Structure 1
Amino acid sequence: MNPPVEVVDDAHEQLVARVAAIDVAKASGKVCTRVPHETKKDKRYTQTWNVAANTPAIIELADHLVCQGIERVVLESTPVIRRRRKAVRDGG
């Protein structure tokens, strides 16, 4: 394993207190949120759960993230990335 590399935040980079990440698969997604803890100062609260990949479930997820005050959502879809890398490798 290579040693980790420290990344220094530039002054223009924004630190976001309330974030969500979603790992997208074909029929579902794994959601993770990190928000400030409600009662413990300088602590964070993390939740993870699965969400179906259908319109009602996505609308419900969006409502939930809005209610939590989520400021930024990051998506990852590993199979899509793999297909893109293969297409680039194959010249397409």
Structure 2
Amino acid sequence: DVVCPGFTSDCLETLEEISQEAREAFLHAGGKAFAYIPCVNDSAPWITALSRIAQQHLAGWPVGLPDEKALLQTAERAKALGARQ
């Protein structure tokens, strides 16, 4: 069984390289059974989870532009931490 935990959706590259090329190499090397486990793709539980994750991490984001004073303070903090001028 093969799973690609780094991907949340199957793409053509994943399907071709893993599901086809890796399957062929495995079987050619003497493997007997190769099963590609599909990604979560657009399954309802995953879309719900992704929505909740996005909402959690987007909560509290500023809706307007920072004022000039806030920008200057941020620049000064960055310089104090070693940012290039």
Normalising by the residue count of structure 1, what TM-score does the alignment of the two structures yield?
0.28
More helix by share: 2
Normalising by the residue count of structure 2, what TM-score does the alignment of the two structures yield?
0.29
More strand by share: 1
